[in-house]
Structure 1
Amino acid sequence: MKRRKFLLSIATGVPAVAASPFHLKAAAPGKGFKVAAGEGRIHGHIRLKGVNANILDLKISGKDTAGGLAIFEQISQSPNRGTPLHIHSTQDEVFYVLEGEYYFQVGEEKYKLRTGDSIFLPRNIPHAWTQVSQKGKMTVTVQPAGKLEEFFVALASLTKELTPTEMTQIFAAHDMRIVGPPLAVD
């Protein structure tokens, strides 16, 4: 009787899990790889324009993980600058401070982060950050990868300062929504 109950639970459970939106995607086919310190995968150094003048090195691409996640190392060169308050509707972000000091807002809460601190920014919650120190470095993990890699590449290719309307449009084209100004340091 126990075997029959087990088989019945498997027969009904597997289709339910398969239909669930929370199932894991298969990893992208291929081999493991190493990305050396100071290097960026696929794009080399992504030199941002527009929001700030930081440099991003892609360490793990969404293309490597079938869209599961992307990891960047950000070299921060923009004291007192950061992102506008914005929302990712389909992505969570994790920042880990390797060096320097940053000020973050997540929802209504504000946090000062220093070397060794990390912060979780859940999807659908407005958030922003500003670099406080003269220099800094963070890792940024995005899950799922979404269009953030393409967003950074688009910012790096800018040839002029964007108007607020144009910046709103570039965020929207990459599944993000600006909902407020950049975060001022208190």
Structure 2
Amino acid sequence: MAIPGSIFTVLADQDRFERPVTFLNGQFNTKVSGTDTGGALCMIDTVRTRRGGPPLHFHYEQDELFFVQEGDFRFLIGEELFELGPGDFIFGPRRIPHAFANLSETGRLMIAFQPAGTMEAFFAAGLRDPNSEAFRELSRAHGMEVVGPPLAL
């Protein structure tokens, strides 16, 4: 169990707790857990091994922050479409519908949630079909609402 305020390192391509998760189209490595920050923040390094991404959704109580590390990504936040590459950042405010898609064969995206909420448990569920009713139910259970399909490539 992490102790809030502790100093720690997480090496490249490693998970904070040595439990990487496979979710949707890639591997998710927790870098900063909500347990590290008293629930204030979690950060997850996602290595996307296929094109695509999650369905259009919004978070009731969390802002979502995205930093593109590798590859090219398309983002829809609200009604605005963005094409971002390595080094680019975009902020997704809570309650604003958003989706993104990896446009490359592989891509890497650092995602942060503020506050952390239960996002780590959401990803640990390991669902891979974003069009399923199970995905919608899991999303609701973790403070999100799916409001549309994944972005077209």
Counterpart of 1:44, as a letter, is R
1:41-65 Cα distance to aligned partner (Å, 9 max, x none): 12522111xxx22101000000110
Distance 1:161 1:53 in 2: 10
Aligned residue in 2 for 1:24: none
- Deviation, structure 1 residue 29: 3.8
After superposition, give the CA deviation of every residue in 1:85-113 in whole Å (9 maximum; x if it has no partner). 00101000110111100000000000001
Residues 98, 125 of structure 1: CA spacing in aligned structure 2 closer, same or farther, 3 A cutoff? Answer: same
CA distance in 2, matches of 1:183, 1:95: 16
Aligned-pair CA distance for 1:36: 1.0
Q: Which digits, 9 at most, give the CA deviation of each residue in 1:25-80, with x for residues without a partner? A: xxx545211111111012522111xxx2210100000011000000111101121x
| Structure ranking higher on relative contact order (CA contacts 8 Å, 6+ apart) | 2
Report the alpha carbon displacement of residue 162 of structure 1 after superposing the two structures with TM. 7.6
Q: Relative to structure 1, is the Cα distance of residues 120 and 163 closer, same or farther in structure 2, using a 3 angstrom cutoff?
A: closer
Hey, what does 1:88 align to over in structure 2? 59
The 5 Å alignment of 1:31-180 reads: 31-48=6-23, 52-79=24-51, 81-155=52-126, 158=127, 164-180=132-148
TM-score computed with the length of structure 2 as normaliser: 0.92
Secondary structure at 1:62 match in 2: coil
Give the secondary-structure state (helix, strand or coil) at the position aligned to 2:61. coil
More strand by share: 2
Q: Distance in 2 between matches of 1:161 and 1:97?
A: 23
Corresponding residue for residue 25 of structure 1: none
Give the structure with the higher percent helix.
Answer: 1
Find the structure with the greater CA-based Rg: 1
Q: Number of aligned pairs?
A: 151
Q: Runs of 5+ in structure 1 lacking a partner?
A: 1-27
Q: Against the structure 1 CA distance between its residues 113 and 165, is the aligned structure 2 distance closer, same or farther, given a 3 Å change threshold?
A: same
- d(CA) in 2 for partners of 1:95 and 1:179? 20
Secondary structure class of the residue paired with 2:35: helix
Post-superposition, which runs of at least 4 consecutive aligned residues in structure 1 deviate over 4 A? 160-163
